[in-house]
Amino acid sequence: MECNIAAGIETRKAAPSDLAQRIIAQTSKGYHGPAILMLEDGTVFYGRACGASGTATGEVCFNTSLEGYFEVLTDPSYAGQIVTMTYPQIGNYGIDPADVQSAYPGSPERGASTPALRGMVVHDMCPTPSNWRSAISLPEYLKHAGIVAIEGVDTRALVRHLRDNGAQKGIISTEVFALAELAQLLEQAPSLVGENLVRTVSCGEPHPYTAADLPANHAFASAPAPEQAHYRVVAYDCGIKRGILEGLVRVGCELTVVPWDTPAEDVLAKHPDGVFLSNGPGDPDAVEETYSQVEKLIGKVPLFGICLGHQMISLACGAEMEKLKFGHRGGNQPVMNLISHRVEITAQNHGFGLVFPSLGALVPELSGGVSEHPADGDLRFWVERGVAPVVENERFGRIRLTHVNLNDGTAEGIQLLDQPAFSVQYHPEAAPGPTDAHYLFTAFTRLMDGDADYLNIDIAKDRLAGWVFATE
């Protein structure tokens, strides 16, 4: 149920009678107390509690994935956010702890496996999962983890509101229902813009991650790592997902994971074959301690960045970032690969994006003869022409646009042509999501091998390389 106090309209359902509460309590669903969601613009949604009791504030966003709610829930990139799942029923296949994405040692602020997000919004929460791998139901997990959640919300109306008006601060509560008091609490909550959330999700000390750390529970589906690692890689942990660590290990990398603010000199002293820059939450402009180190690493060692790591490389090159209206979150984002001219269906989770023209002026002879960036900023201009444009960057030479989001024409990937570095805005680890972008892990190994054509990979063939198929 929804109301808008700014318009002076408020409607709410009457509380169930004692008899109705007793009847509901005898069902598999069970009776749960009321909950409320208020947005920064005054829009209010009423529902039922389906997680921990309490009050939580954060930026309200939405994820369009049909599955993978547990991977979303435990993704450190959601720090500071209240996540709305657009699929109508959430929790129907339960939770296997082996799928957790944030269980790494050395995070003093939040512990090893506590979800970083602030809250969850769903239409219908399933309390009785059916799945051979399930060890606990989603609502039970939320209660144990202390995550406030609300169900019974018209998530279609909420998502349309966010698409029309943009992502904004919100507050969920199972204990405060006075709208004026909620509005006051919400006003006092910090904004996502300008806040460094990476420091809250990064590891505290360097630690290894090798083939021995791969979860045995995934062996039935995932191909094993090489018996002998071929590359020594230092991975900056800005909120890294375990699925990404697994993807790197499975292509032959032996990892040393380091905190987000590790000096470049300390990284180079380890003599790595490559450096990986991870995903992470929040405003990239607020993570200066990382991108200032990346600027020192470019040209010294091969670099690969994903999501926030892509933004760190871009900022190190002097680029500008923009806050997207409602971001990209889900496992169904179409991206055009301007190198292979194939469309990749990708998994994404970010609210900020690279302003590609800010990297430099176009090089016409390498950009299909075009000398000016499209006036409206829509990079589908290059998709229509089948051109991967190149700019001249003041710091690091030529930089090529390699990937474009087909939904809104934003930048999704770049390649430094005069330095060994590349990055993408989306996630190749398929946790959750499709496997179209698996080739990016292989591309990183080819870059470390010195292959100048490292991005020229048969995507369709490579995407199958990481999986085990049953044989009779």
Q: Is 310 known to be catalytic?
A: no
What is the per-residue pLDDT for 15?
Answer: 61
What is the per-residue pLDDT for 6?
Answer: 39
**Residues paired with residue 3 on neighbouring β-strands, in sequence order:** 44
Tell me how far the alpha carbon of residue 71 is from its chain's centroid. Answer: 10
What is the per-residue pLDDT for 11?
Answer: 40
What is the per-residue pLDDT for 382?
Answer: 98
Say if residue 308 carries a ligand binding annotation. yes
Percentage of residues in the chain having pLDDT higher than 70 = 92
What is the per-residue pLDDT for 468?
Answer: 75
Q: Which residue has the higher pLDDT, 395 or 434?
A: 395
Say if residue 469 carries a ligand binding annotation. no
Structure tokens given for 179: 């709208």
Does the pLDDT at position 165 exceed 60? yes
pTM tops 0.75: yes
Topology of domain 2-188 in CATH is Glucose Oxidase; domain 1 (3.50.30)
Does the pLDDT at position 464 exceed 80? no
Mean pLDDT of the chain: 91
What is the per-residue pLDDT for 245?
Answer: 95
Say if residue 351 carries a ligand binding annotation. yes
pLDDT tens figures, 62-106: 999 999 999 999 999 999 999 999 999 999 999 998 899 985 533
Domain boundary assignment for the chain? 2-188, 198-462
Say if residue 146 carries a ligand binding annotation. no
Lowest mean pLDDT among 4-18, 79-93, 238-252, 413-427: 4-18
What is the per-residue pLDDT for 3?
Answer: 54
What is the per-residue pLDDT for 22?
Answer: 74
Say if residue 293 carries a ligand binding annotation. no
What is the per-residue pLDDT for 168?
Answer: 95
Residue 55's closest CA among 160, 183, 157, 152? 183
- The residues near 31 (Cβ < 8 Å, ≥ 6 apart) are 16, 21, 22, 24, 25
Does the pLDDT at position 280 exceed 50? yes
Q: Is 429 known to be catalytic?
A: yes
What are the distances in angstroms from CA 134 to CA 94, 96, 219?
A: 5, 5, 17
The domains spanning 2-188 and 198-462 adopt the same CATH topology? no
What is the per-residue pLDDT for 111?
Answer: 40
Q: Is 61 known to be catalytic?
A: no
Pairing label, strands 55-63, 231-237: unpaired
The one catalytic residue among 3, 307, 310, 317 = 307
CATH of domain 198-462: 3.40.50.880
Say if residue 282 carries a ligand binding annotation. yes
Say if residue 311 carries a ligand binding annotation. yes
pLDDT tens figures, 345-377: 999 999 999 999 999 999 999 999 999 999 999
Task: Map tokens 């966010």 to a residue.
Answer: 162
What is the per-residue pLDDT for 16?
Answer: 67
What is the per-residue pLDDT for 5?
Answer: 41
The one catalytic residue among 32, 123, 328, 427 = 427
The three-state DSSP-derived secondary structure of the chain is CEEEHHHCECCCCCCCCHHHHHHHHCCCCCCCCEEEEEECCCEEEEEEECCECCEEEEEEEEECCCCCHHHHHCCHHHCCEEEEECCCEECCCCECHHHCCCCCCCCCCCCCCCCCCCEEECCEECCCCCCCCCCECHHHHHHHHCCEEEECCCHHHHHHHHHHHCCEEEEEECCCCCHHHHHHHHHHCCCCCCCCCHHHCCCCCCEEECHHHCCHHHCCCECCCCCCCCEEEEEEECCCCHHHHHHHHHCCEEEEEEECCCCHHHHHCCCCCEEEECCCCCCHHHCHHHHHHHHHHCCCCCEEEECHHHHHHHHHCCCEEEEEEEEEEEEEEEEEECCCCEEEEEEEEEEEEEEHHHHCEECHHHCCCCCCCCCCCCCHHHHHHCCCCEEEECCCEEEEEEEEECCCCCEEEEEECCCCEEEECCECCCCCCCCHHHHHHHHHHHHHCCCCCCCCCCHHHHCCCCECCCCC
Mean pLDDT of 397-413: 98
pLDDT tens figures, 25-48: 767 777 789 999 999 999 999 999
Structure tokens given for 399: 């930089």
Lowest mean pLDDT among 29-33, 338-342, 394-398: 29-33
What is the per-residue pLDDT for 222?
Answer: 79
